[in-house]
Amino acid sequence: MWFANFFVGGSLTMVLPFLSLYIEEFGNFSDAYVQNWSGWIFGITFGTAFLFSPIWGRIGDKYGRKNILILSSFGMGISILLMGFADSVWELFFLRLFMGVFTGFIPMSQALIATQTPKAIAGRVLGTLQTGSVTGNLMGPLLGGILADVFGYSATFKWVSITIFLSGLLVLLGIREVMLKNSEDHAEEETYSSKQIILHIIGHPVLLAVMLISALVQIAHFSIQPILSLYVAEIHGPVSIAFFSGLAFSAAGLGNLLMARRWGRIGDRVGYIKILIFLLFMAGIVYLPGAFVTNIWQLVVLRFLLGISIGGIIPVRIAYIRQAAPLSIQGEMLGYNTSLRFLGNIIGPALGGMLSGYFGISAVFFVTSGLLIASGAIMLITWYKQEYTDEKRKSTQALSSH
């Protein structure tokens, strides 16, 4: 699963650094037009993914996740292959929309591993799994930038589709899914409806906050993604633009790679919510200086620091859900979490494109930093209230027993 995530993570990020540059090839467009369409084309994939993730999650709970992963890789591969033949903004838009039906390979793989991992080491295991996609994310933009500079943008999409198909082949031949169900879990599976799962989430404030923050974090993180190459061109110039855009993307991946497993292990030991709160504040602080950079290397350093902080947010968040939810409903619950992430992926690029179009790219960094710090504050307040309520309940029970 690590190698499959490596290929998917690398493949999807190969095309991100030059997506806005690819749009420019379709016609003589203004900067504002390209920035706005970059946001919409980047984000529309996650619109359909937002709708389909809980459905795939529920199917996975009932029938296993291996077949869904194979279907996902096949659908993504076809979509990306056809993008290499697109010759208009609308064709690219609709292909990205269709791709969203099958997007969710990496979250589904996380659900597969989470449901087969003991709770006590879930953070470390999920952190290790994440290094697969992160390593791909790290190498993908650099390799994609080189391929784009040498062969052109459309040819790069065709190469990328091959590695996506390879991921599906790895799952088909290399994965044996073990359906872990004891009698208690089986009983839970028989009685839990989608409505009951949603009520379970709403009834646990910290769990609800963790899932809502999934959307806020993605809004913040993805607001700059589709226009990052334009920002690199603004501060560095047009020389080897695809390569330096890939470098800026990959810097965050390197920080993520170095710390993802470590943050998961620390979360196993001291608590996932404590680490999540710390990482949200850290990410908000390191994002802000990006608005003031004057050369590419300053941006690369800040992206690296951002990767260090963002690297732990996903594994500790999923590990907490693994801890807080019954085993038999975790696929659907993680599906809702993935949907909220994809909702953030829709809003983030559109928001970033709109802000940069009207106020300049620097404005995106200010808003993003504020969102991350606000997420940390929401998580801190919710967690503190829950701890206070639990402590008060324990004190009342102790007095009653006396």
Confidence class of residue 187 from pLDDT cuts 50, 70 and 90?
very low
Instruction: Look at residue 113 in the predicted model and tell me its pLDDT.
Output: 80
- 183 domain residue, yes or no: no
Quick check: 176 and 160 in contact, CB under 8 A?
Answer: no
- 186 domain residue, yes or no: no
- Return mean pLDDT, the chain: 81
**How far out from the chain centre does Cα 222 lie?**
9
Domain count, the chain: 1
Most confident of 98-102, 146-150, 241-245: 98-102
Average pLDDT over every residue of 210-239: 80
Spatial distance between the Cα atoms of 279 and 294, rounded to a whole number of angstroms: 26
- Would the pLDDT of 184 be above 50? no
Confidence class of residue 271 from pLDDT cuts 50, 70 and 90?
confident
- 26 domain residue, yes or no: yes
Q: What are the tens digits of pLDDT across the range 75-124?
A: 999 999 999 898 888 998 999 989 888 887 887 887 788 777 777 776 77
- Would the pLDDT of 45 be above 60? yes
- 299 domain residue, yes or no: yes
Instruction: Look at residue 179 in the predicted model and tell me its pLDDT.
Output: 63
- 247 domain residue, yes or no: yes
Residue 289 gets which letter from DSSP?
G
Instruction: Look at residue 174 in the predicted model and tell me its pLDDT.
Output: 86
Instruction: Look at residue 259 in the predicted model and tell me its pLDDT.
Output: 82
Instruction: Look at residue 17 in the predicted model and tell me its pLDDT.
Output: 67
Tokens standing for residue 363: 């404005």
Helices (H) and strands (E) in the chain, counts: 18, 0
- 296 domain residue, yes or no: yes
How would you label 123-136 residue by residue, b for 16+ Cβ within 10 Å and e otherwise?
Answer: bbbbbbbbbbbbbb
What's the CATH number where 377 sits?
1.20.1250.20
- 182 domain residue, yes or no: no
Statement: the pTM of the whole predicted model exceeds 0.75: no
Average pLDDT over every residue of 201-230: 83
Range of the domain at 134: 2-175+192-395
Q: Which residue has the tokens 């290929």?
A: 7
Which among 152, 147, 176, 154 is positioned nearest to 69, based on CA atoms? Answer: 176
- 340 domain residue, yes or no: yes
Q: What are the tens digits of pLDDT across the range 327-383?
A: 667 667 777 887 888 788 778 877 887 888 788 888 888 998 998 999 999 999 998
More confident site: 193 or 366: 366
Spatial distance between the Cα atoms of 56 and 108, rounded to a whole number of angstroms: 8
- Would the pLDDT of 141 be above 80? no
Give Rg (Cα) of the chain.
Answer: 21
- Would the pLDDT of 226 be above 60? yes
Q: Report percent pLDDT > 90 for the chain.
A: 9
Instruction: Look at residue 156 in the predicted model and tell me its pLDDT.
Output: 86
- Would the pLDDT of 182 be above 60? no
Residue 18 gets which letter from DSSP?
G
Scanning 119-152, the segments in alpha helix (DSSP H) are: 122-151
Confidence class of residue 186 from pLDDT cuts 50, 70 and 90?
very low
Instruction: Look at residue 181 in the predicted model and tell me its pLDDT.
Output: 53
